[in-house]
Amino acid sequence: MRYSIWALAIAVGLSACTAPTADSPPRVWQTLSGEAPLVIAHRGANGELPEHTIEAYTLAIEQGADIIEPDLVLTSDGVFVVRHDRYLADSTDIADHPEFADRRRVEDGRDDWWVDDFTLAEVRTLRARQVRPDRPTEFDGLYLIPTFEEVLDLAAVHGVATEPEVKSPSQFIAAGLDPLPELVRILRLRGLDTADAPIAIQCFEPDFLARLNGEIDTPLLMLVFQMQELEPDLDPLIPTVALEDMIAFADGVGPYKALLVDSEGVDTGFIARAHALGLPVHPWTFRDDDPVGDGADIETELRRIYDLGADAVFTDFPATAVRVRDAMAAE
């Protein structure tokens, strides 16, 4: 197991957690490192600002996030820009650009504009918008679409780690744009290809992570969800990749949170099984405005996951996750 981003509690400043009082012993965390869990700003502080913008990442850092998470997609000229999806209509103002009207096309049943049909210069003319209509929209149309390297620059200036996700690599490969060479180039150029680099690369595709594992020593995170989404008759607690299989190429696991706690709010044992294999656990995604199935509010949900030993949490509202973690540290 590589030295990894999940051991960076000291390096990225988790000493900022509220200290226990003189009358109480330090909290014993159930994380692999024994340190307080890390807070990952999922697409930045996107509960408040349009996702995947420098402004959303900056706000997340100001709110105390330890790690910022950019999603990586490729333009037609092979540059990583930061968007959650290949399609652009939901998260940008591209529909307001008549010069791109004839670039709309249908792929896999979706009629949209696709990032790999556009150059970086063209993407730079777009502005970000809030994806969820129940969140603030007054910042729509104000912020640029950043490149991956711009997000890395921001993280370096502020001394926080990054946890980028490579989106849909097999789809980009089918389009003639393999993400791996450009990713490896950037990581090597910036000295982020080592086991102790302040970065971890995540992906839902095990074949891509296995390839990447052969090229660099950067920590790798295998993202998983419920196999039941693909095969409805299966047990809802079966992940898309077994823990025992991913240890050959991954250094940690990022499970959908329903794999950790069942619909009754009961621990499934997933974290304990992962920890027994030496795998840190980074569940996704915790949202103040999206209550869980058993009716728990966000503070209850976060406390439960922290108590179970999650090593980090992905959240759209990093201020809340930091506040709850620090309150627990002080108890």
Q: Which residue has the tokens 């502020």?
A: 158
Distance (Å, whole) CA 55 – CA 321: 19
Would the CA dihedral through 33, 30, 68, 113 be positive or negative?
positive
Asked if residue 309 lies in contact with residue 287, where contact means CB atoms within 8 angstroms, the answer is no
Distance (Å, whole) CA 60 – CA 45: 5
Which phi-psi region, left, alpha or beta, contains residue 176 (left: φ > 0; alpha: ψ -120 to 50)?
left
**Residue at 254: amino acid letter:** G
Asked if residue 36 lies in contact with residue 329, where contact means CB atoms within 8 angstroms, the answer is yes
Active-site positions read 42, 84
Neighbouring C-beta atoms of residue 5, cutoff 10 Å: 32
